[in-house]
Amino acid sequence: MPPRINIPPVTRVLLAVLVLQSFLSAAIRYRQWSATSEIVIPYLTLIPQLSLIYPWTFLTSTLVENNIFTLGIALVTIYHGGRYLERAWSSAELAKFIAVTALIPNTLTFALMIVFFTLTRNERWTLTVIGGTIPMQISFLVAFSQLVPAHTVTLFRGILSLRVPRFPLLYLGVVLVLTLTPLLTTASFSLAVTGFLTSWTYLRFYKTVFPDLDASQSAALRGDASETFAFAEFFPGPVKPFVAALSTQIFEVLVAMRICSPFIPDNFQGGRSNNYIQRSVPGGARAEAERRRALALKTLDQRLHAATATNNAARSSPQPPAQQPTGPTVQTQPQPLTTQTAMTTQPAEMLGETNYTPEQDSSDKNGS
């Protein structure tokens, strides 16, 4: 029997839409290809000058890749990252996260291209293709940095070891280099930066946090105030103090403008203790699932004990005595003794027995 590939629903939809839109884009560009012109598809990808009449492209352009190399990377990223996050959070939370990290970076990059066109009057900025899974990929790296911040990835047989929070900045550097090649457009680096900031802001301040089922805390807490998910943790050690001071000042300004809410003590307790998903050790999301599974098993065990106690009580209740059976019982076992007694009775009682008297035999001998 072939192995069954289990893909959660949201991840399955993302993979299907990515493949469908990417192949559709490739077919259209192949059919309309010309050596003297650059083909753009404003109803699939976001084009600042042409896509305003196609508003869905602000969301769907994230799931379009223009070459086989980036398409392969996107498929691997969504397959593994989407499955992990969907099981760690939920399908609804992953869908919300994807929508936020796709819509906001595309919109900000769209506005940035308009600003560049206004400053330079170069129409090429408004014809730049805005699309691809870059915001989704870097947002997955940020989410992994929240879930497993202490996990270390070893590359090249131990030559290079990096903690998970170091990967977003490394990814930004790779995207910056690839924008100088035909693989990525000039808008790709803007998508990566805005995707990084958007995903961290959403997870830090707005995403609903699920408390431990055994804790008596509010279920309406949002964000992650843990020190392991601070913005400075994404940067190398020498620059952490400067980034921490700058991010603190920006946070205070945002709180004063009522864009962000200040953290309450429960948020800090949730980030530092075991009341929430453990982000300081690998497998924190699995720990939350294990706690839920343990609670469900405990409830099931209590129900089974209650059912067993009910059955025992029913069996111990007084019942009418059972009627004696009419057939042979154990009391008939002494019958062989009766037979033996009959065999040891006087021989005269036996049918057809010939009587033999020795005294007569002796008298005959004397007479002869």
Stretch 138-154: mean pLDDT, rounded?
90
Separation of alpha carbons 168 and 277, rounded Å: 21
Give the whole-number percent of the chain exceeding pLDDT 70: 71
Q: Please report which confidence band the pLDDT of residue 365 belongs to, taking 50, 70 and 90 as the band edges.
A: very low
Q: Give the pLDDT score at 32.
A: 83
Distance of CA 262 to the CA centre of its chain: 29
SS3 154: strand
Mean pLDDT, the chain, whole residue set: 78
Higher pLDDT, 225 or 2: 225
Can you say whether the dihedral through the CA atoms of 269, 271, 273, 277 is positive or negative? Answer: positive
329 pLDDT more than 50: no
Higher pLDDT, 325 or 50: 50
Higher pLDDT, 336 or 121: 121
Q: Give the pLDDT score at 342.
A: 42
Other beta carbons within 10 Å of 232: 18
Stretch 218-235: mean pLDDT, rounded?
80
Q: Please report which confidence band the pLDDT of residue 228 belongs to, taking 50, 70 and 90 as the band edges.
A: confident
Stretch 86-99: mean pLDDT, rounded?
94
Higher pLDDT, 295 or 122: 122
Using CA atoms of 297, 303, 307, 308 in order, give the dihedral in degrees to the nearest 10: 50
Q: Please report which confidence band the pLDDT of residue 11 belongs to, taking 50, 70 and 90 as the band edges.
A: very high
Asked if residues 89 and 134 have their Cβ atoms less than 8 Å apart, the reply is no
Q: Please report which confidence band the pLDDT of residue 126 belongs to, taking 50, 70 and 90 as the band edges.
A: very high
Q: Is the pTM of this model over 0.75?
A: no
Q: Per the structure block, which two tokens stand in for 182?
A: 């035909």
Number of helices (H), then strands (E), belonging to the chain: the values are 13, 2
Q: Give the pLDDT score at 317.
A: 59
Other beta carbons within 10 Å of 226: 23
257 pLDDT more than 70: yes
Least confident of 29-43, 72-86, 216-230, 343-357: 343-357
Separation of alpha carbons 137 and 154, rounded Å: 20
Q: Please report which confidence band the pLDDT of residue 288 belongs to, taking 50, 70 and 90 as the band edges.
A: low
Domains in the chain, start-ordered, CATH in brackets?
9-300 (1.20.1540.10)
Q: Give the pLDDT score at 274.
A: 35
Q: Give the pLDDT score at 2.
A: 52
Q: Give the pLDDT score at 151.
A: 84
Q: Please report which confidence band the pLDDT of residue 292 belongs to, taking 50, 70 and 90 as the band edges.
A: low
SS3 15: helix
CA angle, 289 as apex, 167 and 6 as ends, to 5°?
Answer: 75
Q: Give the pLDDT score at 3.
A: 57
Stretch 17-44: mean pLDDT, rounded?
87
Higher pLDDT, 262 or 89: 89
Least confident of 55-69, 204-218, 323-337: 323-337
Q: Per the structure block, which two tokens stand in for 92?
A: 């609804």
Stretch 202-216: mean pLDDT, rounded?
71
Distance of CA 266 to the CA centre of its chain: 25
225 pLDDT more than 90: no
Stretch 141-154: mean pLDDT, rounded?
89
Asked if residues 188 and 179 have their Cβ atoms less than 8 Å apart, the reply is yes
Stretch 102-120: mean pLDDT, rounded?
95
123 Cβ contact list (under 8 Å, min separation 6): 49, 117
Other beta carbons within 10 Å of 5: 7
Q: Give the pLDDT score at 120.
A: 92
